[in-house]
Structure 1
Amino acid sequence: MASINSTVSNDSYSKPIPIHDEELKIHKTCSIAGPGNEFVIIGDNKYYRHELMQAFGGTFTSGLTPYPKRQIANAPALGLFATHMNIFVLGLIFAGATGGSIPNAAVGLFIFVGGLLQFLAGVWCMVGGNTLGATAFTSYGAFWLSFGAIFIPGFGIGAAYADDPEQLNQGIGLISVGWAIFTTMLLACLFKSTLSFFWTVLTLDLTIILLAAGFLSGSPKVMKAGGIMGVINAFAGWFETYAGIATKQNSYLVPKEIPLPDLSRKSKK
């Protein structure tokens, strides 16, 4: 008889649940045990099936994940709102809704909502043990802070390129290439997530790629395409935000996530 540490319920955390080796069914992604296959074993921990939650974009989780032990608020919902509010405004700007200029009010949004608020959401994800959320939100929060700084005269960035504004566009384009690579890396971690979650990060990646190409090429059409994709991404991100805050207790409309197919499973001959 083997004993594996278990997180089974609010009343019995850390109680070991014995299992019989002959009951164990080995799978590539996890192990299933119990007479009725009611246990799921992930690593050295054993859980009841009902204590595992599927990948869920509203909490920035990918794949089967145990319910968190810490009773804290859903910080990823805040981070998703913050970044996609900025992307919505920036998308409208590049799509031509403001004639191509960045309003001063948007700069404050970049700094305090997409930057500070999202960075704090990432820190709260660290406290909650959400590595993916912490990495994404603190990184993108820092991006929005640095992007907003470009348009604040006190930083002197715009003045440094006053004689050659095209060089500023080239610089932003190169920076955007780096962020596109980073976003693609995050996207690769979501193949076991949900359809809407994957779509949100995919459209974000496409937005950054198009804007990077637009800044580097100087093509207004490519920039406009990037802006339109940004608006599409904003609505995808807001869906995930709503999914993260809507519950059966506060809403009659609770989104149902569609998990992506498990490509690691192969049919047995």
Structure 2
Amino acid sequence: MSSDTSASTAPTVEKDMLPNADKETIDLESQTYPIRHIETHHEDPDLIKIGDNWVSRKELFAAFGGTLNPGYNYPPSRKFANPAPLGLSAFGLTTFVLCMANVNVRGVTSASVVIGLAYFYGGFIQLCAGMWEMLLENTFGATALSSFGGFWLAFGAIETDAFGIVSAYGDDTKGLNTMLAMFLLAWFIFTFGLLLCTLKSTVAFFFLFFSLDMAFLLLGIGHLYPDSDGNPHLGLTRAGGYFGLFSAFAAFYNAFAGLATHENSLFVVKAVPMPWSPLFPRKNKSH
């Protein structure tokens, strides 16, 4: 990045935190960033002013490393790429393929082709992205990506005959459906906890976890109420598949938001905070 990069697209540093406050630029690991002075509240140093709003510094750390809230985060302390778009892409693509089978696109009912994706892309690659989030000190990103990477690995194991998971139930279709329902509903509970942690993030990020949570719930209930042949409830499975597709597209959208910059794309995504988020633009807010 060159020294003439505009302040609107480059990371910023608080001027009052620099060794020499008279400087107009700072060099961080051979990259030069412009300095934008950030006003600190005279009574509470934890509060800084963005526009007309006073915001806690703790609120400025976005759930997936900050790329969905450009301009609000400090430059990284190390040269390490943001792994969130990779993890989101792995999740979105694998979910898209599986849910196409759930909604019976073009009459397809078997999701066997997703097994490879579940192991190598949605599983292994997403798990790696989660571990890399740990290096960025991002607990939420590490927990979410690593967990869903584990979900896809577990799903692949269930669908792989060599593991003998399905065959272990023999003719007990009720027992198999019940345990698959418990598997999916457990993920619904876990995802609901993550959903609560996105209430102060962006609308797109919240929608990703909301639609995913609904997909787990509907698919789980579908296994609790199978048809006479022991197959999951068709209507609930399709509804869960559609919510899964919404989640997949939301993951693609959030991944694009982390990838597209003014330097590499003609189109960039602007973060839209939740209405009750401290980052949501408000007028005439004062202390």
2:110 alignment partner, one of 101, 108, 125: 101
Structure 2 unmatched ranges of 5 or more: 1-15, 20-24, 30-39, 227-232
Aligned pairs (5 A) from 1:72-111: 72-97=80-105, 98-103=107-112, 105-111=113-119
* 8 Å contact kept, 2:177–2:224: yes
- With normalisation by structure 1, the TM-score equals 0.79
SS at match of 1:32: strand
Percent sequence identity is 36
Q: Give the aligned residue type for 1:216.
A: L
Distance in 1 separating the partners of 2:245 and 2:55: 40
2:244 is equivalent to residue 230 of structure 1: yes
Distance in 1 separating the partners of 2:18 and 2:225: 54
2:34 is equivalent to residue 24 of structure 1: no
2:258 is equivalent to residue 244 of structure 1: yes
2:123 is equivalent to residue 115 of structure 1: yes
Aligned length in residues: 246
Distance in 2 separating the partners of 1:85 and 1:237: 9
In structure 2, the partner of 1:261 is 275
Structure 1 unmatched ranges of 5 or more: 14-20, 44-51
| Residues 128 and 80 (structure 1), Cα distance of their counterparts in 2 relative to 1, 3 Å cut | same
How far the C-alpha of 1:262 sits from its partner, in A, is 3.1
How far the C-alpha of 1:195 sits from its partner, in A, is 0.8
Distance in 1 separating the partners of 2:26 and 2:169: 58
Greater Cα shift, 74-83 or 93-102: 93-102
Q: CA RMSD in A?
A: 3.6
| Residues 235 and 163 (structure 1), Cα distance of their counterparts in 2 relative to 1, 3 Å cut | same
| Residues 236 and 171 (structure 1), Cα distance of their counterparts in 2 relative to 1, 3 Å cut | same
Distance in 2 separating the partners of 1:268 and 1:253: 34
* 8 Å contact kept, 1:58–1:244: no
- With normalisation by structure 2, the TM-score equals 0.74
1:120-160 Cα deviation digits (max 9, x unpaired): 00011011111111000111111110111011122111210
2:190 is equivalent to residue 172 of structure 1: no
1:199-237 Cα deviation digits (max 9, x unpaired): 111111111111111112222100110011111211111
SS at match of 2:171: coil
* 8 Å contact kept, 1:58–1:243: no
